[in-house]
């Protein structure tokens, strides 16, 4: 694991759009306590939650129009962090402000930039269009995981665990038996596994009445620092073109809360039967069930890593090829930030 726990010059998913309303919401990102709220014009403000006066949490205060009023001595701050008023004095000392963080909203996700605001380039925000496009039907949710974000990344990039961890949903023969073809293009790592003529995993039988074996495909894309996009397809074995094929994507965003806890924003969005709310509910529920199984594994794994006072390294095997490529890119980014 890299020595420094977080990269800062990055856009991090910090909320799902509906979570942020015209009210204060506290959430810690990369160890930093933040307060979020939506302004009257719909834009989102993000400030350091520690009031610059005496460090009382601003999230314990109230909104006054688009300003936030600290609940301790009533000092008000504007959405850009500048102090608006101090009850006990007329003059506002120069430079007295709360730190504001750049925020962007895209595809029903809210992103915050945790590093140097001058580098917060909005064109770097990834495009998870399946979360908001009219041709797709997403189920979205959130899970807080008691583990470091990088071991969750490992979990998503090595899906050989499906066979052992997700027996009631995603497991089927054909996963270990077929190679994962890994390619690296710049900072993106892609991996594809084709599983031809295999029995359907339980989740596929729930989605569609398959009579026999299926052809199953996994396409996993890692985008630094913490996004994993998994495209899943399945059709009756040997059928060349199947308009009714199972086709969905699972999008995962692993935002560090602390070095030992992670905000796990996920969605499962499908391209088939998009006008069936019951299908949205079902896929969301099955996915949640699987991710709750991961959460238990990851918490136990983190406890054991913490208990290893000698810090012996993790071991990489053949199935960790994509994991290794992703970690290599992250190490490069950590080094670049340290150098800067
Ligand atoms: S601590 Fe916020 S106003 Fe004093
Ligand atoms: Fe899993």
**Domain identity same for 63 and 204:** no
Domain boundary pick from 75, 91, 124: 124
83 is a domain residue: yes
Which atom of ligand 1 sits closest to the CA of residue 55? 1
pLDDT bracket for residue 3 (50, 70, 90):
low
Instruction: Kindly tell me if the per-residue pLDDT of 141 is higher than 80.
Output: yes
Ligand 1 near 73 CB (within 6 A): yes
**Domain identity same for 26 and 135:** no
Q: What pLDDT is stored for residue 244 in this prediction?
A: 85
Residue nearest (by alpha carbon) to ligand 1 atom 4: 73
**Domain identity same for 137 and 115:** no
- Give tens-digit pLDDT for 251-298: 999 999 999 999 999 999 999 899 999 999 999 999 999 999 999 999
Ligand 1 near 75 CB (within 6 A): yes
Compute the residue count for the chain.
Answer: 340
Q: Pick the ligand that lies closest to the CA of residue 98.
A: 1
Give the best-scoring range by mean pLDDT among 66-70, 177-181, 321-325: 66-70
Ligand 1 near 53 CB (within 6 A): yes
Domain count across the chain: 2
**Domain identity same for 51 and 82:** yes
For 161, other C-beta atoms within 10 Å of its C-beta total 18
**Domain identity same for 134 and 109:** no
**Domain identity same for 118 and 163:** no
**Domain identity same for 217 and 191:** yes
Mean predicted confidence (pLDDT) in 316-328: 89
**Structural domain harbouring 252:** 129-339
Six token digits for residue 286 = 């099955």
HSE-up of residue 220 (Cα within 13 Å, Cβ side): 25
3-state SS, residue 340: coil
Transcribe 86-105 into DSSP letters: BTTBSPPPTT-BPPB--EEE
Residue nearest (by alpha carbon) to ligand 1 atom 3: 73
278 is a domain residue: yes
Query: What backbone torsions phi and psi does residue 174 show, to the nearest 5 degrees?
Result: 115, -15
Q: What pLDDT is stored for residue 208 in this prediction?
A: 86
Q: Pick the ligand that lies closest to the CA of residue 73.
A: 1
Ligand 1 near 87 CB (within 6 A): no
Instruction: Kindly tell me if the per-residue pLDDT of 162 is higher than 90.
Output: no
Six token digits for residue 155 = 């979990």
Mean predicted confidence (pLDDT) in 241-248: 88
pLDDT bracket for residue 142 (50, 70, 90):
very high
Ligand 1 near 35 CB (within 6 A): no
CATH assignment at residue 22: 2.102.10.10
Q: Give the span between the Cα atoms of 9 and 121, in whole angstroms.
A: 10
Six token digits for residue 165 = 């961890």
**Domain identity same for 113 and 141:** no
**Domain identity same for 67 and 29:** yes
Q: Pick the ligand that lies closest to the CA of residue 175.
A: 2
Q: C-alpha angle with apex 176: 175 to 179, nearest 5 degrees? A: 90
| Exposed/middle/buried for residue 315 (C-beta within 10 Å: 0-12, 13-18, 19+) | exposed
CA of 144 to the centre of ligand 1 (A): 30
CA of 221 to the centre of ligand 2 (A): 15
102 is a domain residue: yes
| Exposed/middle/buried for residue 209 (C-beta within 10 Å: 0-12, 13-18, 19+) | exposed
6 is a domain residue: no
Domain boundary pick from 70, 102, 124: 124
**Domain identity same for 168 and 317:** yes
pTM: 0.95
pLDDT bracket for residue 213 (50, 70, 90):
very high
Six token digits for residue 239 = 């059928």
**Domain identity same for 220 and 192:** yes
**Tokens 């290794």 sit at which residue?**
324
- Give tens-digit pLDDT for 83-132: 999 998 999 999 999 999 999 999 999 999 999 999 999 999 999 999 99
Mean predicted confidence (pLDDT) in 50-73: 98
Residues 6+ apart with CB under 8 A from 193: 159, 175, 178, 179, 180, 181, 217, 218
Instruction: Kindly tell me if the per-residue pLDDT of 327 is higher than 50.
Output: yes
Residue ranges with CB less than 5 Å from ion ligand 2: 294
CA of 170 to the centre of ligand 2 (A): 9
**Domain identity same for 135 and 205:** yes
Instruction: Kindly tell me if the per-residue pLDDT of 2 is higher than 70.
Output: no
Q: What pLDDT is stored for residue 230 in this prediction?
A: 97
Domain boundary pick from 72, 98, 124: 124
CATH assignment at residue 318: 3.90.380.10
148 is a domain residue: yes
Ligand 1 near 72 CB (within 6 A): yes
| Exposed/middle/buried for residue 317 (C-beta within 10 Å: 0-12, 13-18, 19+) | exposed
- Give tens-digit pLDDT for 177-200: 888 899 999 999 999 999 999 999
**Contact between 265 and 13 (Cβ < 8 Å):** yes
């Amino acid at each position: 694991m890299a020595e420094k726990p977080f990269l800062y010059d990055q856009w991090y998913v910090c909320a799902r759009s509906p979570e942020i309303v015209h009210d204060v919401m506290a959430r810690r990102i990369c160890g930093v306590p933040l307060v979020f709220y939506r302004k009257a014009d719909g834009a989102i403000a993000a400030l350091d939650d520690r009031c610059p006066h005496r460090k009382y949490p601003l999230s314990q205060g109230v909104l006054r129009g688009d300003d936030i009023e600290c609940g301790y001595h009533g000092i008000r701050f504007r959405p850009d962090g500048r102090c608006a008023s101090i009850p006990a004095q007329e003059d506002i000392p120069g430079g007295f402000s709360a730190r504001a963080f750049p925020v962007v909203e895209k595809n029903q996700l809210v992103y915050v930039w945790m590093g140097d605001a001058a580098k917060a380039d909005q064109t770097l925000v990834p495009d998870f269009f399946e979360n908001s496009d009219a041709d797709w039907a997403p189920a979205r949710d959130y899970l807080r995981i008691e583990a470091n974000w990088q071991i969750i990344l490992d979990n998503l990039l090595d899906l050989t665990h499906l066979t052992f961890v997700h027996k009631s949903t995603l497991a089927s023969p054909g996963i270990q038996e077929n190679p994962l073809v890994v390619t690296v293009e710049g900072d993106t790592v892609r991996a594809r596994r084709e599983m031809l003529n295999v029995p359907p995993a339980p989740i596929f039988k729930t989605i569609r009445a398959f009579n026999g074996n299926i052809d199953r495909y996994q396409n996993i894309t890692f985008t630094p620092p913490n996004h994993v996009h998994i495209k899943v397809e399945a059709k009756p074995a040997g059928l060349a073109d199947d308009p009714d094929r199972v086709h969905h994507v699972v999008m995962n965003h692993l935002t560090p809360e602390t070095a030992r806890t992670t905000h796990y924003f996920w969605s499962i969005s499908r391209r088939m039967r998009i006008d069936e709310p019951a299908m949205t509910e079902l896929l969301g529920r099955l996915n949640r069930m699987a991710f709750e199984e991961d959460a238990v594994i990851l918490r136990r794994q983190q406890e054991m890593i913490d208990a290893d006072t000698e810090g012996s390294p993790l071991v990489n095997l053949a199935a960790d090829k994509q994991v290794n490529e992703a970690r290599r890119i992250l190490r490069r980014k950590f080094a670049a930030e340290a150098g800067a």
